[in-house]
Amino acid sequence: AAALVEAKRRGRERVAQIAHAEAPKLQLDAGFCRRYLTNIIHFDLGPRELAGLRRFYELAAELGLAPRGVQIECYRPHALAESR
């Protein structure tokens, strides 16, 4: 989990560099890419994001792209420590 937190921190520090490097590959404007990375995409999972993830999974199951009845489990460091 620490590696993911560090990757998020480093990515947020380098948004302009990432946007500038990736925009040409995607045939997009660097400003658009920067806005997408800072204002549109969310890197944390709150209640709305989890609900969206569950809905996405339900739709995938309806299309036969994922097995039905699977529960989404979230890693929580404090829960792991409490279970030891």
pLDDT digits (tens, 9 = 90+) for 34-73: 999 999 988 888 889 889 999 999 999 999 999 998 888 8
Contacts of 60 (CB under 8 A, 6+ apart): 66
Q: Model-level pTM?
A: 0.60
Give yes or no: residues 11 and 35 share one domain.
Answer: yes
b/e burial code for range 36-67 (CB count within 10 A of at least 16 → b): ebeeeeeeeeeeeeeeeeeeebeeeeeeeeee
Task: Tell me if 45 sits within 8 A of 53, measured CB to CB.
Answer: yes
Give yes or no: residues 39 and 65 share one domain.
Answer: no
Give yes or no: residues 4 and 14 share one domain.
Answer: yes
Amino acid identity, position 47? P
Give yes or no: residues 50 and 77 share one domain.
Answer: yes
Residue 77 reports pLDDT greater than 90: no
